[in-house]
């Protein structure tokens, strides 16, 4: 299968070389890697260039945005800067972060899964972070959720869900829409990916309301947003985050921010969320 990989990168000199090194050593080589150097002020560009001179299928795109570390729109806009440069000859399109170390069989194993299930729309491994000199599961979400750091989409699924939404919550709404259109999603626990920078470590204060805003834009409604906010704040052991999530939701509702999904898709999402919660209670 033809894997195209797009990697948004902002000041990643400490990790981008390790990420690229793990990708060029894959047992199934990617057909293309595009690194989008998004306004970096460190040595990211030079490091990528050393790989670009060795491997013709690695490309560097320099882009200018802002120095803010905001989840959602910034990283997806950078992704599209890379996506615009590739042709349509991909079977799987990947959006990977620039701080990951992949096992050598990562792409080969994903290819195996995609080939053996024609309805498989998205697949990934699991992120592990270093804690007390051990690599432990970065347990922030349900194990059937594909983390935004390592998304891989079958081409038809990627196009049917409308590609990626430049908004906080893009890495949840993509899965919900995939399910709406009947695609399967798979996480392979045998594929352990080292995540060098824990999620959210570099987000700034401006991002704190965006999670609640995303819940509004996905048409969760108040009750599901309330339950989700409690769950997320509990996992992160922060009451202030719970308040921020709800404030973001009501702020978005007050200003009638555009939704990410249609009414029909929103109803499907709410039903799916309620079903998931009821199953856990059972």
CA pair distance 96, 104, nearest whole angstrom = 15
CA pair distance 232, 242, nearest whole angstrom = 8
Looking at the whole model, is its pTM more than 0.85? yes
Confidence (pLDDT) at 211: 87
Count CB neighbours of 92 within 10 A: 23
CA pair distance 268, 274, nearest whole angstrom = 10
Confidence (pLDDT) at 67: 58
Domains present along the chain, CATH in parentheses: 3-195 (3.90.550.10), 208-281 (no CATH)
Confidence (pLDDT) at 205: 55
Confidence (pLDDT) at 83: 97
Apex CA 90: angle with CA 168 and CA 185, to 5°? 50
Confidence (pLDDT) at 215: 95
Contacts of 274 (CB under 8 A, 6+ apart): 224
Confidence (pLDDT) at 280: 78
What is the crossing angle of helices 263-281 and 222-235, to 10°?
50
Confidence (pLDDT) at 64: 83
Which residue numbers in the chain have pLDDT < 50?
201-204
Q: Are 146 and 175 in contact (CB under 8 A)?
A: yes
Contacts of 208 (CB under 8 A, 6+ apart): 241, 244, 248
């Amino acid at each position: 299968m033809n894997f195209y990989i797009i990697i948004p990168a902002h000041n990643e000199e400490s990790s981008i070389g390790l990420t690229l090194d793990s990708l060029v050593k894959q047992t199934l080589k990617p057909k293309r890697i595009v690194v989008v150097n998004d306004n970096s002020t460190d040595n990211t560009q030079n490091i990528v260039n050393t790989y670009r001179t060795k491997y013709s299928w690695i490309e560097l795109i320099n882009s200018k945005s802002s120095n803010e570390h905001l989840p959602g729109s910034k990283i997806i806009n950078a992704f599209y800067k890379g996506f615009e440069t590739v042709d349509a000859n991909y079977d799987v399109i990947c959006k990977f972060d620039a701080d990951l170390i992949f096992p050598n069989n990562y792409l080969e194993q994903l290819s195996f899964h995609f080939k053996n299930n024609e309805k498989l729309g998205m697949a990934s491994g699991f992120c592990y972070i270093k804690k007390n000199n051990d690599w432990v599961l970065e347990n922030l979400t349900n194990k059937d959720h594909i983390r935004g750091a390592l998304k891989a989409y079958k081409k038809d699924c990627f196009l049917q869900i409308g590609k990626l939404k430049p908004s906080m919550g893009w890495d949840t709404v993509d899965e919900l829409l995939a399910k709406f259109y009947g695609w399967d999603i798979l996480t392979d626990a045998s594929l352990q990916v080292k995540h060098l920078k824990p999620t959210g470590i570099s987000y700034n204060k401006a991002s704190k309301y965006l999670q609640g805003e995303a819940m509004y834009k996905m048409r969760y409604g108040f009750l599901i947003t309330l339950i989700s906010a409690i769950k997320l704040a509990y996992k992160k052991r922060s009451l202030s985050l719970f308040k921020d999530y709800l404030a973001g939701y009501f702020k978005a509702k007050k200003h009638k921010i555009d939704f990410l999904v249609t009414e029909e898709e929103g109803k499907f999402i709410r039903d799916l969320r309620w079903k998931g919660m009821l199953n856990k209670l059972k």
